[in-house]
């Protein structure tokens, strides 16, 4: 089976996440766009984290006071986006075991879940 390749602008860790996701889940075209946003948000989180590690959590303000580093807000917002996009794609649902005979998880698009449901039905 041919799987869509990750966008080349993604980091190697995001490309790995992309490949693992498209192999494990059945994704429609609009899911691939959401997956790309997820990977980009993950990259942005990592970029902000690296900047904070290098420059610290605070910066001097224009009036000499100390304030939060702008990258802290970028990291926070990107982490929230990652969590929401994982939920949007139903990647936060534990895939069913192959020997599971109970009902499938609701809303899951997991490839393993699709196979388990087909096997149970036929």
- Residue 45 resides in a domain: yes
- Residue 6 resides in a domain: no
Q: What is the pLDDT of residue 62?
A: 84
**Residues in the chain, total:** 122
pTM: 0.75
- Residue 100 resides in a domain: yes
Q: What is the pLDDT of residue 55?
A: 96
- Residue 2 resides in a domain: no
Q: State the total domains in the chain.
A: 1
Distance of CA 82 to the CA centre of its chain: 5
| 42-55 pLDDT tens trace | 999 999 999 999 99
Distance of CA 38 to the CA centre of its chain: 4
- Residue 3 resides in a domain: no
SS3 83: helix
- Residue 4 resides in a domain: no
Report mean pLDDT in 10-residue bins for the chain, 122 residues.
Answer: 93 96 89 96 98 95 90 98 94 65 53 55 56
Structure tokens at 51: 């900047």
Could you tell me the residue range of the domain that residue 106 belongs to?
12-58+67-115
């Amino acid at each position: 089976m041919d799987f869509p390749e990750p966008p080349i602008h993604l980091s190697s860790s995001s490309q790995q996440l992309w490949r693992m996701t498209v192999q494990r889940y059945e994704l429609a075209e609009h899911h691939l766009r959401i997956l790309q946003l997820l990977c980009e948000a993950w990259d942005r989180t990592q970029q902000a984290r690296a900047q904070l590690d290098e420059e610290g959590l605070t910066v001097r303000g224009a009036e000499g006071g100390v304030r939060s580093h702008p990258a802290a807000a970028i990291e926070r917002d990107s982490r929230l986006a990652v969590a929401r996009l994982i939920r949007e794609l139903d990647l936060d649902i534990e895939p069913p075991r192959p020997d599971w005979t109970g009902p499938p998880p609701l809303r899951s698009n997991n490839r393993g879940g699709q196979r388990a449901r087909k096997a149970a039905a036929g």
